[in-house]
Amino acid sequence: MKETLDTPTTQEEIELMGDAHAGSAELTPLRADAFNMSDEEKIERIQSHFAEIMHTLGLDLTDDSLKGTPRRVAKMYVKEVFNGLNPANKPEARTFNNNYDYSDVVIEKNIQVNSFCEHHFLPFIGKAHVAYLSKGKVIGLSKINRLVDYYSRRPQVQERLTLQIADAISEAMNTDDVAVYVDSKHFCVSMRGIKDHASSTITSEFRGAFKEKDLQQKFIDFIRIPAE
C-alpha cells in the first residue's frame, strides 16, 4: 500500500516528510511578517544564531579562521543564496513585440540552477531548460536566466522550483505554451542518507501546446543536443 503523509506532527513524521522530499505548496511558505526586518537586522540575528550552532558543535570561535564565519554565513544567506525570497529582488521580465513574426519554439537551455533543499539546507545544482511559443511577444534571453536564478535562490524543492519557473514565464509572455525541464544533483542525497553520488533528479512541466507529444518531443530532442 502506498504510504502517504498528511500534516506531520511527531518528530518521526517530520523526519519522514523530509526524506520523502515532499513540498507543502506551489508558493514558497513565507510568514506574513517575513520582510519586517531589514537585511542588516536579519544578518545580525542569523550571525548570533549561527555562532551558537558552531559553539554547540564544539568549535572555537576565537580561532582566526572561524571567528568571522557566523557573519560570513549570515551575509551569504541574506544577500546571496536566499535573496530570491524577497519579491523586491525579482527581475523585471521585459518583453518586446515579435516584429519578425517568428512562430516556432524558443528554447533557452543549460541554464545554471544553484538552489538549496529546504529539508536539509544542502545545495542542489543542475540545469534548467525553458521553452515557449510566442503569442506576439518575445523576451530577452538573459531575463529567462535571471528568473530561473531568482526562484532558485531560496529554500526549495525541485518540483516547486519547476512550477514557479513555468508560472513566471507564462505570466511574462502571456501564454500557456510553456515548457520547463530541470535536471539536478541533490547534496542531501550525495552527502547524507544513501550517499548516492551518481543519481540526479528530473522534473518537468509541459503546458498548452507543449502537452502535444510531437512538440514535447521536439523540445526534448533539442535540449539533448550537446552545446558546443
Nearest-angstrom CA–CA distance, 30 and 103: 39
- For helices 158-173 and 141-152, what crossing angle results, to 10°? 140
95-128 confidence digits (pLDDT tens): 989 888 888 999 999 999 999 999 999 999 999 9
Domains 11-89 and 95-224 share a fold: no
Mean pLDDT of the chain: 92
Beta-ladder partners of 10: none
Q: Are strands 105-117 and 95-97 parallel, antiparallel or unpaired?
A: unpaired
Q: Which of these, 25, 62, 15, lies nearest to 188 by C-alpha position?
A: 15
Residue with the bigger pLDDT between 227 and 197: it is 197
CATH class of the domain comprising 11-89:
mainly alpha
120-131 confidence digits (pLDDT tens): 999 999 999 999
Third-level CATH fold of 95-224: GTP Cyclohydrolase I, domain 2 (3.30.1130)
What are the residue ranges spanned by the domains of the chain? 11-89, 95-224
- Per-residue cell: 64: 582566526
pLDDT tier, 8 (very low <50, low <70, confident <90, very high otherwise): low
Q: Span 85-100, mean pLDDT?
A: 92
pTM of the complete model = 0.89
> Is the Cα torsion angle 6, 8, 10, 16 positive or negative in sign?
positive
Query: Which positions are annotated as active-site residues?
Result: 117-120, 158, 186, 188
Residue with the bigger pLDDT between 60 and 227: it is 60
Chain centre to alpha carbon of residue 52: 28
Which residue do the cell numbers 521580465 mark?
Answer: 93
